[in-house]
Amino acid sequence: MQENANHILPDIRDEARRLTTSVLDAGLHARLLGGLAVWLRCPSVRSGPFARSYQDMDFAIAKGAGSVFKAFLTSEGYLGDPFFNGLHGDTRLYFQAPDSRWSIDVVIDELTMSHKLDLRGRLEGPLPTLTLADLLLSKLQVWEINRKDLGDALCLLADHGVSDDDSDAEAVSLPRLRKLLGSDWGFCHTTERNLGRLGELWAESPLPGASFDVGEQITTIRVAIDEAPKTMAWRMRSRVGERVRWYEVPEEVGH
């Protein structure tokens, strides 16, 4: 194990790049998410007002990849938490670097925070992270969103355009946003509220030299959401509105 631990690089950002490259090489149905995924995909988050430190890594894996991914992390020198993984292994896994420098949280099939982001069938492809649309939704689904997550979302939209081409891996897929938010009123409502906060942050802290105008991107996304076909469930829930709470409060799961 000590020999395998020597694979681990001293900087978590370099280690995230190394691990995701190994995941792709191994053909695993696993992709990076969270802040480090934004760091990998978005140069503007690496310096300037939204640069930050990282204490952990987050992966999403397909359910059928659980045993293989556990073996992969073990081979890379990471230590699983036997009690946590035995208790929560159907939905989550937890690993640590041998010296506890950082941890790796793994979600299986879906990311559930204020809302549920279903990732089934979306953990393949040529790039090491979730798709840009899913990365954006993973940030904007949080009802009690903080500046850190807003900053990640802002940099994502500053560095990447939005597109009606769902196959464009370097753009935020409007079809993905329409499909998901047109079927879940609560998720849609939270996202629209956070887009407003994101617009305020862009007005306060625009990024000089950004590839895209985040304010214009937000407008395009809002129009796409408005025009998205809505399911019957969406329409029925919209009639209830805020009279009934539409989001969950994520629980901290102890390790």
pLDDT single digits (tens) 188-220: 999 999 999 999 999 999 999 999 999 999 999
For residue 100, what are the CA distances in angstroms to 14, 58, 86, 104, 236? 17, 15, 20, 10, 48
Checking if the pLDDT of 139 tops 80, the result is: yes
Spatial contact of 169 and 135, defined as CB atoms under 8 Å apart: no
pLDDT reported for residue 7: 84
pLDDT of residue 4: 65
The pTM score is 0.94
In this predicted structure, what is the pLDDT of residue 253? 53
pLDDT interval class at 1 (50, 70, 90): very low
Confidence label for 5 from pLDDT (cuts 50, 70 and 90) = low
Percent of residues, the chain, with pLDDT higher than 70: 96
> Which pLDDT does position 82 carry in this prediction?
94
Judge whether residue 3 has pLDDT over 70.
Answer: no
Residues 104-122: tens digit of each pLDDT: 999 999 999 999 999 999 9
pLDDT(126) > 80? yes
Question: Among all chains, which residue has been given the structure tokens 């709470």?
Answer: 245
Q: What is the mean pLDDT of the chain?
A: 95
pLDDT at residue 135 in the model: 98
Q: What is the pLDDT of residue 6?
A: 72
Q: Has residue 49 got a pLDDT over 60?
A: yes
Contact 205, 197 (CB under 8 A): no
Pair type for strands 56-61 and 116-118: unpaired
How many angstroms separate the Cα of 14 from the Cα of each of 7, 9, 10, 40, 240?
11, 7, 8, 10, 47
Q: For 216-243, what is the mean pLDDT?
A: 98
Q: Which two tokens stand for residue 247?
A: 């989001």
Listed by start position, the domains of the chain span: 2-243
Radius of gyration of the chain (CA): 18
Q: What band does 254 get if pLDDT is binned at 50, 70 and 90?
A: low
Q: Which residues contact 200 (CB under 8 A, 6 or more apart)?
A: none
The pLDDT value recorded for residue 250 is 77
Residue 62, pLDDT score = 96
What is the percentage of the chain residues whose pLDDT exceeds 90? 93
